[in-house]
């Protein structure tokens, strides 16, 4: 239960057992019927919790002392664990991570959606739990996160430059990363050597408070064909400094096959509305999957775990159960990966995507693979998917939908119901909004299969594929 202790300082609860793994990678404890969310602990730990935030229905806290360590615990491999918010479950045994991800899907379907379903198939875990990402974005910052020891250093003697990841919940604090276990070793080498070069040449890091500084972001992408893409984002349009940095990166890392730079002087980090400049190499990477090739430009979206993406798409295609004659709608098609993946088993595939450059990539990927039974449209899904659109493109036999975390707009759900496809394959990175959307279709469709897939080991995120069949 935990005993409430009063101090002059923050509220602390002693000897509290961590009960469950919860939202956003935080674990769950309860004291006097009040829920407490605690990061970087594992169910089964017994800890003292210092409350750092009090909400109306829950507390947020930090473990300040461990009395008992959970049997689910493992030693995290990363020295940044506990500060960096990227891999909050790294201290938990991977088999238990999978258990809690599957439980997350079950809880969302039963508690949020109140759905009837035949059970959930065992989650497909990742064979590779480290160095599995094909894309990372680092931030240059003049506001480095300081440890307690570093806070004792006089301000004038502190090194405040950082190249790494934002501290969760702090827009202006960046953790300087020494070694990251998310992307292949070349990513670490490029990041560390670029930082040293910039400091030695007195090229300024970005100050997010004042919106000024030369170096802003570093994006590194790699593919399973051996391609390596690097995009350097500058905060100032200084041709001399841009040339100095780009020449260094090009000469120092001949492994890079596509080297770009972008000048971003906006007050946000997004570069999708900017024009990347090819400095050297070829203008794209190539990813290979199931005999297909996918061309990826600097602004293209592709699933960030290529090995598990193949698992996800195999499940999607299997659930669709295509025979070669069906009209398939692929909603939120992105660069057409799923559309092209299923095309050889369909009669015709119609893809819809909001982002016009992604649609161009989708068409290119069809051409690259000699696929001629796909067609792609760009626009707001709720406005494009109308009865007129369906009349013009044919009533779908199967709808595949892979929306963003927010799920589908109610108008999109309504349009799908009006079209009445025989099957709906719903791919989701957020089982909560997936359950909400499916509950809106439950009167017309029954759930026949549910398959979670782990795309992001050591995080709470889980992808889930659900097959709905017309009642």
Rounded Cα distance, 410 and 283, in Å = 38
Helices vs. strands in the chain: H and E counts, helices first: 10, 23
C-alpha closest to that of 338 among 301, 381, 383: 301
Query: What number of other Cβ atoms are within 10 A of residue 292's Cβ?
Result: 19
Q: Which residues are catalytic?
A: 429
Rounded Cα distance, 106 and 379, in Å = 33
Q: Which two tokens stand for residue 407?
A: 């799920």
CA 253 to chain CA centroid, nearest Å: 27
Q: Please check whether residue 127 is in contact with residue 455, taking contact to mean a CB–CB distance below 8 angstroms.
A: no
Q: Across the strands, what pairs with 399?
A: 329, 424
The answer for 15, left when phi > 0, alpha when psi is -120 to 50, beta otherwise, is left
Tokens 């239960």 sit on residue = 1
Rounded Cα distance, 321 and 329, in Å = 14
Tell me the HSE value of 382 on the side-chain side, using a 13 A CA sphere.
Answer: 5
Rounded Cα distance, 334 and 359, in Å = 7
Backbone CA torsion sign across 186, 191, 194, 200: negative
Rounded Cα distance, 279 and 408, in Å = 39
Rounded Cα distance, 38 and 17, in Å = 11
C-alpha closest to that of 358 among 296, 409, 284: 296
């Amino acid at each position: 239960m935990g005993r409430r202790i009063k101090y002059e300082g923050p509220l602390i609860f002693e000897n509290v057992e961590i009960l469950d793994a919860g939202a956003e990678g935080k674990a769950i404890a309860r004291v006097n019927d009040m829920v407490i969310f605690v990061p970087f602990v594992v169910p089964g730990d017994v800890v003292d919790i210092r409350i750092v935030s009090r909400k109306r229905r829950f507390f947020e806290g930090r473990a300040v002392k461990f009395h008992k360590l959970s049997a689910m615990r493992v030693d995290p491999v990363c020295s940044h664990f506990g500060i960096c918010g990227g891999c909050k479950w790294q201290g938990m045994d991977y088999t238990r991570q999978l258990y809690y991800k599957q439980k997350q899907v079950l809880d969302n379907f039963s508690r949020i959606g109140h759905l009837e379903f035949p059970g959930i198939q065992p989650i497909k875990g990742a064979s590779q739990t480290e160095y599995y990402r094909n894309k990372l974005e680092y931030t240059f910052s003049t506001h480095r996160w300081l440890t307690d020891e570093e806070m004792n250093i006089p301000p004038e003697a502190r090194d405040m430059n950082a190249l790494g990841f934002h501290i969760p919940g702090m827009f202006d604090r960046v953790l300087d990363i020494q070694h990251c276990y998310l992307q292949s070793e070349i990513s670490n080498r490029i990041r560390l050597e670029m930082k040293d070069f910039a400091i030695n040449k007195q090229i300024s890091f970005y100050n997010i408070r004042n919106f000024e500084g030369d170096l802003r972001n570093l994006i590194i992408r790699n593919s399973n064909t051996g391609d390596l893409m690097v995009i350097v984002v500058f905060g100032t349009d200084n041709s001399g400094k841009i040339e100095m940095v780009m020449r260094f990166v090009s000469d120092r890392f001949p492994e890079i096959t596509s080297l770009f730079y972008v000048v971003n002087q906006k007050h946000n980090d997004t570069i999708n509305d900017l024009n990347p400049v090819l400095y050297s190499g070829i203008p794209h990477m190539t990813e290979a999957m199931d005999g297909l090739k996918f061309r990826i430009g600097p602004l293209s979206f592709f699933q960030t775990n290529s090995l598990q993406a193949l698992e996800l798409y195999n499940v999607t295609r299997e659930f669709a159960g295509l025979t070669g004659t069906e009209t398939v709608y692929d909603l939120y098609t992105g660069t057409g990966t799923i559309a092209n993946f299923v095309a050889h088993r369909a009669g015709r595939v119609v893809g819809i995507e909001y982002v016009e450059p992604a649609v161009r990539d989708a068409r290119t990927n069809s051409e690259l693979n000699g696929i001629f039974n796909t067609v792609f449209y760009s626009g707001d899904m709720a406005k494009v998917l109308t009865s007129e659109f369906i009349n013009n493109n044919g009533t779908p036999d199967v709808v595949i939908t892979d929306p963003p975390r927010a799920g589908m707009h109610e108008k999109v759900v309504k349009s799908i119901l009006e079209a009445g496809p025989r099957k709906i394959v719903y791919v989701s990175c957020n089982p909560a909004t997936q359950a909400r959307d499916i509950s809106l279709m439950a009167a017309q469709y029954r759930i026949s299969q549910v398959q979670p897939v782990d795309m992001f080991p050591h995080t709470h995120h889980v992808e889930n594929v659900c097959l709905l069949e017309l009642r």
